Structure 1
């Protein structure tokens, strides 16, 4: 293997330095999600999807079925209590909305 030139060394070093913030952002995304505020059931986004913080409160809703909660929905991230449908907030694991998908 031929020795690396000064120009290649500098180029690879600059690439590595520019990639550091990207890696740090990926690693800290879960920590940042945990700092998000809990979704307010009275907010317009929550009401549009019929979100409630306790699944039992949705019993009268046509789409409600027993044992369906945010915790077992495919949109829920258990590590951060985040929901893909409400990216600016955390949701209650025992909550529910009409977009539930297992």
Structure 2
């Protein structure tokens, strides 16, 4: 027969082990908004065509060829891995090694 203490230890361990999975699934749905304070600070723009008016923007720059962009989940290291479109741009843009404009 299992003691109450052993039963609770096992249930707690299972519950705690599932927390990272729940966090990942919630993070997958997060898309960076232009209204967020951090996005505003970096001049985050949803469409690279609209970035032409930005002083720092140069033709060919977009999230897709930025060193901060993570292709597998379309995330951005600047925005804690949350989703950004490959066609976005921000002032933190830096050319990915091996990429061309």
Q: Same fold (TM over 0.5)?
A: yes
Aligned residue pairs total 75
Match of 1:91 in 2: 84
Aligned counterpart in structure 2 of residue 44 of structure 1, from 37, 58, 80? 37
Instruction: Point out where structure 2 has 5 or more consecutive residues left out of the alignment.
Output: 1-16, 96-101
Is the contact made by 1:53 and 1:94 (CA closer than 8 Å) also made in structure 2? yes
Q: CA RMSD in A?
A: 2.1
Larger radius of gyration: 1
Instruction: Point out where structure 1 has 5 or more consecutive residues left out of the alignment.
Output: 1-20
Please list every run of at least 4 consecutive aligned residues from structure 1 whose deviation after the TM superposition is greater than 4 angstroms. Answer: 31-34
Q: TM-score, normalised by structure 1?
A: 0.64
Q: TM-score, normalised by structure 2?
A: 0.65
